[in-house]
Structure 1
């Protein structure tokens, strides 16, 4: 026994010669039977050792390959999330100040070059379309939509609260990155008189289709928009620009090609608008793009039109219902309210009608917009009311209901739903609605932001106040804190645009409100 250990060690290292008998064979003639049994045992041990080492190598290789697959899958997931709107570029730690500008930065369209573009009004009535490089804050191009000479002459002593209005819409559906944008500008004025606001209708309006990459005018549709019936709203649908105006029979929609010629016209029956409140403006017709269709909102209905102008669906609209938005080819019509204001009249229960070309469904609750959705959640929509948060599939019954009050903007990532509910940050399993984790010591009145790996929230005093607002990164899976740092500049608001974090602070003076924008990254 005392010598067996060393002998085994030597035997395991030494190699057998070619004449060694295989395991289980009889010993050679003249050899002692005990020696043959010992040699056979040594062979078995060597084989076991060899197999063990081989298995260990295989397991190590499997682990390495498995980790590589996980890493590749995570890399692909992050790349897919990064391509979504309103996602911050990956942050390895607290963001730093990239630039600050006291020029108006429009956030209406994001271009393929990573620029933001849109329309900007000036106190003198001038309106410009402008594109800004998000990486540097530098103005890439700027073109006039209205000059100061187009501004409206006001009565003596009149003080304009808002002078001129303008906006640009992306030339692609669902507000995705676009290199074409439709811009409208007018010289309408809101006057402040005796503590009330009075609206004066525009006398000059311009409508242009611009190349968002360099500001080139693709088509000037101002004359067509001014032709009877005068356009009250416009949108893009593929290569067409749609305009709508009122007629004696309802509303006319006409589609204009980029060369200025009319492709088609269609008339949709609609009642006249209701009388506005004293000092208010009448309700206008509304056009918006919903996937491959356009939605015309009239006082009594929502009409879905295809690319030829044919009405594919008409959904009645109550006088107190409003379009809350569109997403993935669906128009959402809201009505009622989840909670009645204190001391106010009772409200009808909140409901949301989801309108698609192939059908519509009305569900209880207000629509909860997903700021980021990577497509991993099994539900199609979220709504909320006094009974909680409801997740819906294609069927009428909810997939699940969670006890969540006052949910704000939500983010769906990797099978989880993250949202703020007035008390902090809450994460639910997207498949069951079960609570995964909750953090209650963070603010919830800023947008919930993500880079695909962490969730970005704020903690501390209100943005813009003294006391030190903190930007906090949380692990999306368990809510653990990854890092925390002071917000590097005082801002009144903070939100994600084009992969960057943009903060805005308003500088108020007697005549103007000036916005100072800071980019973080």
Structure 2
């Protein structure tokens, strides 16, 4: 007769030393049970790890995208007014350096004050008078803008060009007051401390940082001067001139620009021509942009797009365009379509209106695709897609094939397509009306579905300023424009 196996039962809280070792069968069962628990746990950990990697990639992509011209800083859901820009502030030439916006403000006596504002709250961080009062100027006079820009190679610093000229009403007509002096200032954006202050030729009207140097541009008697000086001590590296014609427009932030298309090529738009100059002082090519006469006999305008994504200037009239780079000039059919943002995700893409929407290869001049849109107004190229604003629609195409992916109905003539990389921001109809007041609407880039919308005041439009989203409101009663920073 077999002996009965003794089994000791240990109650919770009992002496562990009296417990019998588990049998092999029970150990195997426990191991099997823990193995089945480990499977979902491992799956959860894998999902978490995958999400962490995805989030890091998205953050890295948004960080890189933030460096693209025209891209907004990420916005909160349902935007609100962060602060109102003070009356007299000149947003032309303002520059954002990290969390500080450097901009000028004109006082009643025409003193020009350069200020640093906290971009989140609008708090004044510092203020510095850069041009003294002009008591002989009339109340209608305007001081010249002060163009400023961040210094990529000197983080936290901003460089500004300060002329003492402007414009005033003389004998009933508007007259330009030429500057007698123009100064270059390098400041610490956080507290306004001046790092460098020196004079440059009084005729200099635009500046572009380039490494340790600054490229200075100005027009004198129809001739454009381009100089390269050492940023800090003013040592002149080179100086070239380009004849631009007597009808050349003056250099102001609103009328002309100079931009580094790449690390070695400066594009100068001087009114009726675009000149490319290498950063070692060689004039590469000049292409005229003189307005012509259309089929109706009316004067036509020329549009110039300076594209860092293409490393080229795209110059176009009503019927033809050209992609002008340091090495080539490629002709295209149609007029240039303005591009608000181009993140480079569809390399070499140029858009024109023929009047159909036509996509071209910038280097070869060959067509890529076209679409049945005859009233395209602007485009944003983002994450491999081409978002086109028309008079009544936002239409999104696959950037490689031209296939239409989605479209969204919008009111007529309500401004460009804006983006922070996560959403597209447009003005949308309120209560089915196609007139204002409008809502600001955030659309998912992938499918055009609405993420959120926020109502705006009457006669309000959206614009960007160095990554900031601004609401511009016009009061018909006071005839005053107000600018508010949104977040």
CA contact (8 A) 2:395 2:408 kept: yes
Counterparts of 2:105 and 2:404, CA distance in 1:
44
Q: CA deviation at 1:135?
A: 0.7
Offset at residue 225 of structure 1 (A): 1.0
1:324 and 2:308 matched: no
Evaluate the alpha carbon distance shift between residue 315 and residue 142 of structure 1 in structure 2; reply closer, same or farther with a 3 A threshold: same
Residue 315, structure 1, aligned to residue 286, structure 2? yes
**Is the 2:187–2:196 contact (alpha carbons within 8 Å) kept by the matching residues of 1?**
no
**Is the counterpart of residue 273 in structure 1 residue 241 in structure 2?**
no
Deviations 1:89-130 (A, max 9, x none): 445531233333444455434444322212333443222222
Q: 1:136 offset after TM fit, Å? A: 0.7
Summarize deviations over 1:67-107 as a string: whole Å, max 9, x none: 55545444443444345454444455312333334444554
Between structure 1 and structure 2, the one with the greater Rg is 1
CA RMSD of aligned residues (A): 4.4
Give, in angstroms, the shift of residue 55 of structure 1: 8.6
Alpha-carbon shift at residue 437 of structure 1 (Å): 0.8
Question: Are 1:129 and 2:114 counterparts?
Answer: yes
Structure 1 segments unaligned to the other structure (5+ residues): 1-14, 18-48, 338-348
Give the aligned partner of residue 277 of structure 2. 305
2:314, 2:347 → 1: CA distance?
22
Quick check: 1:470–1:485 contact (8 Å CA) kept in 2?
Answer: yes
Aligned to 2:393: 424
1:197-276 equivalences under 5 Å are 198-211=174-187, 213=189, 214-222=191-199, 224-226=200-202, 230-231=203-204, 233-244=206-217, 251-268=224-241, 270=243, 272-274=245-247
Contact 1:444/1:458, CA 8 A, preserved across alignment: no
Question: In 2, distance between residues paired with 1:72 and 1:286?
Answer: 39
For 1:37-186, list aligned pairs within 5 A: 69-91=53-75, 93-107=77-91, 108-149=93-134, 152-153=136-137, 160=140, 162-172=141-151, 179-186=157-164
Distance 2:244 2:72 in 1: 45
Paired residues of 2:351 and 2:357 also in contact (CA < 8 A): no
1:288 aligns with one of 255, 258, 275: 258
Normalising by the residue count of structure 2, what TM-score does the alignment of the two structures yield? Answer: 0.74
Residue correspondences, number: 446
Change (3 A) 1:121 1:419: farther
Q: Is the 8 A contact 1:208 1:218 kept in 2?
A: no
Task: State the match for 2:6 in structure 1.
Answer: none
TM-score for both structures, normalised by structure 1: 0.70
Per residue, is there more helix in 1 or in 2? 1
- State the shift of 1:423 in Å: 0.6
Q: 2-side partners of 1:431 and 1:165: how far apart?
A: 44
Confirm or deny: 8 A CA contact 1:170 1:182 kept in the other structure: yes
Q: CA deviation at 1:427?
A: 1.0
Q: What's 2:20 paired with?
A: none
**Superposed counterparts of 1:187-202, under 5 Å:** 187-191=165-169, 198-202=174-178
Distance 1:361 1:186 in 2: 41
Distance in 2 (alpha carbons) for counterparts of 1:212 and 1:96: 29
Which structure would you say has the larger RCO, counting Cα contacts within 8 Å and 6 or more residues apart? 1
Assess, with a 3 A threshold, how the Cα gap between structure 1 residues 64 and 505 changes in structure 2: closer, same or farther: closer
